[in-house]
Each structure stands twice: as structure tokens, then as C-alpha cells.
Amino acid sequence: MNTARRAGGELVLREARSGRAGLAPGRLWRLFATALSIAFFGVFALLSAIFVFGLALRLVPDRALRGVLCRGWIRGFLRVYVATLQGLGLMRLRIEGREYLAGGGVLIVANHPTLIDALIILSLVGDLRCIAKAALARNAFTGPAIAAAGYPVNDSAGRMIESAARVLSGGAPLLVFPEATRTVPGQPVKVQRGAALIAVRAGAPVVPVTIHVSEPLLPKGQPWWKVPACRPLVRVRAHPPWPPEAAPAGSRGGSGAGPRQPGAHPVAAARRLTARLQAFYDGEHVASGVVAGADCSADRRVHRAGGSAPG
């Protein structure tokens, strides 16, 4: 089992070292393209906040309809944005186990090595909601989108858990990063109990996701202008869902979770699930999500030759 899990990280490293298909001319280009992509995201977010989400909040009184429309707009933009990042040579993306992300009422749990993890997963899953930081909900760029799309806000632990559980119980998928922040580079994943409390409260199945990157890509504590030496390979792998943990009597998840087992307590069930998630991510060797030591010599040779690596 451990050998197979280590092989996943080694696969990312091998692919990063080999091929380098379509690499951008070099680090200077990646710096320019990163600035361009951030500006593009900011301008589009501001225009959407004014002309899409702001108007939706005023003109579409039906909250459910408004949420569906706005989440569809967000996903459509993010699909274009993620494709643009790849087209600009800022990353390569590999998705595995996409079929496990298609179910309703599932809690998608992922490690969080980069700033764009949520953007990638939101672009993949239809009608997906995620828990938003309170600071983002107050932000002029992102606040209207969060409100219009109906994302739960982490402004209070109790309210957040109840709001997130309602999303799952209503049959919609929900994305949670159990660390509650990006992983500090070089540090192991530290799973907090919030994700497990949500899953137990809703009686929802959990789909664990692992994200590996071959180079540090917008990690916690690193300014955006410190771009990777090589174009990173981002590998997003969804694993088979775990059945619901024992939930409080009478609660139901999107998959029709049954009543609580005799003697099961929601806090104890959340502890068990948290421990299982911690052991899972420890066993997957994601650490900060970065596979260290990718060789950039091929990138430098291509740049000196004035060409691009063969596909």
C-alpha cells in the first residue's frame, strides 16, 4: 500500500522531468504570464461582481435559482481560466478519478498546497460549493460572488458547520480543505476537525482528493513573483468515496445515510474520521504537496536553443 502511494508522487516527478511538452521560453515569461493571469482574474472578478453577481442579488429573488445561475457562471469562467493558465505555460494539469467527483451530496476533501487548488476543483465539478473564508466574503472582488453563489462562510464555526451540512443534506457536493489554510511548504498536512464535523453532521460520504505539484506553485508564505524554475505539473487525484460515518439520529446525507448506530456520538465519530483523514494524507506522502528535486536542465537547454521541448 505505501509503495503504491509513494509511486503516485514519483509519477509526478518523472513526468515533470521528462518531456517538458510545450514549455514557455523561461522564467521571465512565467513571471510576466503570472502577472497577466492575476490581473485578468482580478478584472474579471470585479466586472462580474458589479454586472453579474451584484445584479443577480438584486434582480433574482429566488435564492436557489440565483445560486444555480451564479455557480454556473463561476464554473464556466474557471474552466476558461484554468485552460488559460495551461495555455500560458504556467502549469500542466493531470486529473485522475474524475468519476468520483460526480456524485451529489458528497464532501470533497483535499489537501491545499497551492493558491489555485479551489479554482481547479471548482472548474471540474458541476454545481460545486466550497467554504469561503470570512475575509473573502468581505472582499469587494469576491464577496458578491460568494453571496450570490450561496457558498457557506467560515465566520463562525457553529454557523459554518450547520450551513455546510445543509448543502450536503440538500444533495449538493461541497469542497473543504481540512487544513483550513494552505499547507506551509515543507510541513506535513495538519487535518483540523471541521471537515469531519460537517461530514458527520450531514451523514455524507467523503471523497478524499490528493494534490501533488512538481514545483512550488503559489504556496503559503511565498510572493507571487517567485515563479517556479520549471513549469509545474499539477496532479489532482480523486479517490473512491468513503461511506458516511455514524451521524446523529435522523440526519440524512445526499446519498441517504442511515441513522446513527447505537452508542455512536457525533463528536466521537468526527474524531475517528479526522484521525482517518490524517492517516490517509500521511500515508499519501503529500507533505506540502510538492515533489522536491525536479530537474530543470531540459528547460534550460530548450531556452538556450531558442525552441520548445518536443511534445
For the chain, what is the domain count? 1
The pLDDT assigned to 90 comes to: 94
- pLDDT tens digits for 265-310? 788 999 999 999 999 999 876 554 555 444 454 444 433 433 333 2
CATH of the domain at 81: 3.40.1130
- Is 183 part of a structural domain of the chain? yes
- Is 308 part of a structural domain of the chain? no
CA-to-CA distance for 246 and 272, rounded, in angstroms? Answer: 10
- pLDDT tens digits for 120-147? 999 999 999 999 989 989 988 889 999 9
Q: Write phi, then psi, for 53 (nearest 5 degrees).
A: -70, -40
User: Count of alpha carbons within 13 Å of 245, Cβ hemisphere only?
Assistant: 27
- Is 114 part of a structural domain of the chain? yes
- Is 109 part of a structural domain of the chain? yes
- Is 309 part of a structural domain of the chain? no
CB 128 within 8 A of CB 174: yes
- Is 281 part of a structural domain of the chain? yes
- Is 254 part of a structural domain of the chain? yes
**For residues 170-175, average pLDDT:** 96
Range of the domain at 163: 2-303
